[in-house]
Amino acid sequence: MFDVGGGELLLILLAVIILFGPKKIPEIARLFGKGLRQFREAQTEIKTHIDKLQNEITGEFSDIKNEVERTINSTQIDRDNLMRQELPKTTNESEKDKEKNIEENQGLKENDKL
């Protein structure tokens, strides 16, 4: 990660000892350790929160998907029954049927008179 060789590391440690003194180094190391631990805990907490949100969103999308599939399945038209059903007659055909029925009724009335 850092290209630090053995000699460079020794120089850095010597500078730290000179700057802070041998009595302060353990205290600084503890503070550094606490900071690193808090950072890792925060990182884990954020990751857990993101995973929880992802699971909630996935669950909601799954519920919506299932509801849409159920709606589609319940509204599908049975093609066989659709072909067997008679389409509504147009107004011209229904008028012709009415006239035909009137003529038949008149014919029956004339036959009744005879």
Cα angle, residue 18 at apex, residues 14 and 23 outer, rounded to 5°: 105
Look at residue 90 in the predicted model and tell me its pLDDT.
Answer: 55
Phi, psi torsion values for 18, nearest 5 degrees: -70, -45
Look at residue 99 in the predicted model and tell me its pLDDT.
Answer: 74
pTM over 0.95: no
Q: What is the mean pLDDT of each run of 10 residues along the chain (114 residues)?
A: 76 85 84 93 96 93 89 68 56 66 67 56
Distance CA 9, CA 7 (A): 5
Tokens of 81: 């029954």
